[in-house]
Amino acid sequence: MGNLISNPAPPLPSVGPITVSAKGISNGSSDFLNDGADFGPDTMLGAISKDQYGPPYTQTAGIQEAMDWAFSHYILYTLPDHPFTYSAMPEIKLIEGQYNINADIYLPLNDAQSIIPGFSLVGEGYGIQYISTYIYLNGHNMYFGENGYTQFGGFKIQGINFQSRTTTDTSNQSNSLIFYGNYGQTPQYILRDISLWGINLDMSNVTNAAQLNMDNVFLIFGAQLFLGGFYQLSATQLTCKNGLYINGVNQIGAVNMAEGVIIQSGNPSLSFNVWEIDNNGNAAYGIQNATASGTTSTLNIDIGTLVINNTENFFSTVSGSGTLNIKMHVKHLIFLTAVNNFTVPSGINIQEFTIDEITNNTSSDISTANLPILLTVSGPTAGTVTLRFVEYASSHKKLIISFNGYENDTTTDQTINYPMPFDLAEALTGNNSGLALSTYNTAFITIAAPDDTSTHIGIMIIEGF
């Protein structure tokens, strides 16, 4: 499987483009048919050539007719050293403007061979903020592929703002880009510089795909992303405002991710450079377990910088008998404006959890975060004891016990449970606190009572497995 991922993907062939315009005589925005483009609002409904004009007029601003024509002109090509023949349609170029859609759009399919042809749907602009091509779905969907079909030609959707009706209208959540079928392991699958305003990106019915490249994909106003049977998702900048839904995904790489991961099945790995949890006034979660009832999934999480900007629970579960095992590593955890609650609920089992550095920029005490690896308790007379695992993995566990003004004037030893237990053996590998442990095992420590009025500042280190 690793070799398949590392093979260079072939470029989409240069067989176009054909042009589509949002302007025309029929909508009063131009003095020329389709403003001089191949297809557009003046195109006849169901046209199969570039020079057919209505009435009746297209219901999809000419996009469906352009796709039909492009399909009728797809080409076949074969890559050296690959046994497959690939089919690709001419690129469809959407000239800047606002395209109003009043019917569902379907990618044409090769019924004779059960093939989804390669396609490119490209607007004008780049980097989200400079995109000037808008598609208003008005309660309709765009369908790419079909169950039982295979795609070997790759696809590219780029430079388009998809919107429900207006940038503030989220009343109709049936608007979706929906992908079906089996996507081959070699071609490029690219979603680049697109935004979905109240539009779902639904790939939950994709039965297999090797690699999906997502660059500058922005989901907002109720938009959600549903992923199917991918075994690698590579995203150089995936910004998701209302939930990342994962079903059967084994590896995900992303640079920027916000708000919400739901695990349905599989054993995925999430890798983020920066992940900011910012709810903008709405409930938001870091990891939400939606594992199917009776199943067990293991989620591996690696985060460069985790920025917490709300007070909701980081972990959340749904009802059911499934279990989500979590192995989590954070290089730098930053509480920016609020201390999030990391209490681990039923249904989630922490197997590994390491945070290299913690920065608290709030006025709240970090102990209120209830981090699984962190615990602070008061000394019997004065001061505090803080226990923090700086490493918590199956191969090695390291617990730092910090004493700050600790005082125990009594004759009673103090017993403290670890934030999380050791699995097997452990050893006291360092101590400059001036205190002694009367007992320590895989579950707790017992600090011998000094029975005096002295205060103690220092650390103990316990390591093990």
Q: How far is CA 250 from CA 135, 270, 419, in A?
A: 32, 9, 30
State both tokens at 34. 């389709």
- Mean per-residue pLDDT for 111-118? 86
Rounded Cα distance, 130 and 132, in Å: 6
**Residues 383, 414: contact at Cβ < 8 Å?**
no
Domain ranges within the chain, ordered by starting residue: 14-242, 247-372, 374-464
Q: Which stretch of 75-79, 188-192, 262-266, 420-424 has the lowest confidence by average pLDDT?
A: 262-266
Question: Does the pLDDT at position 72 exceed 80?
Answer: yes
Confidence of residue 7 (pLDDT cuts 50, 70, 90): very low
Report the share of the chain in percent with pLDDT over 70.
Answer: 86
- Mean per-residue pLDDT for 90-117? 93
Q: Say what the pLDDT of residue 296 is.
A: 77
Residue ranges in 15-61 assigned as alpha helix (H): none
Q: Say what the pLDDT of residue 318 is.
A: 61
* pLDDT tens digits, 54-69: 999 999 999 999 999 9
Report the share of the chain in percent with pLDDT over 90.
Answer: 48
**Residues 358, 388: contact at Cβ < 8 Å?**
no
Q: Which stretch of 68-82, 196-210, 245-259 has the lowest confidence by average pLDDT?
A: 245-259
State both tokens at 72. 């009728």
Q: How far is CA 246 from CA 4, 143, 224, 323, in A?
A: 22, 20, 11, 15
**Residues 416, 440: contact at Cβ < 8 Å?**
no
Bridge-based pairing of strands 414-417 and 105-106 is unpaired
The reported pTM is 0.76
Q: Say what the pLDDT of residue 51 is.
A: 92
Residue 63, SS3?
Answer: helix
Find, among 389, 307, 308, 313, the residue nearest to 355 by Cα. Answer: 389
Q: Which stretch of 6-15, 96-105, 358-367 has the lowest confidence by average pLDDT?
A: 6-15
**With b meaning 16 or more CB within 10 Å and e meaning fewer, what string describes 273-311?**
bbbbbbbeeeebbbbbbbbeeeeebbbbbbbebbbbbbe
* pLDDT tens digits, 189-211: 889 899 898 888 988 888 877 67
Q: Which residue has the higher pLDDT, 256 or 110?
A: 110
Q: Say what the pLDDT of residue 43 is.
A: 98
Residue 268, SS3?
Answer: coil
374-464 has which CATH code? Answer: 2.60.40
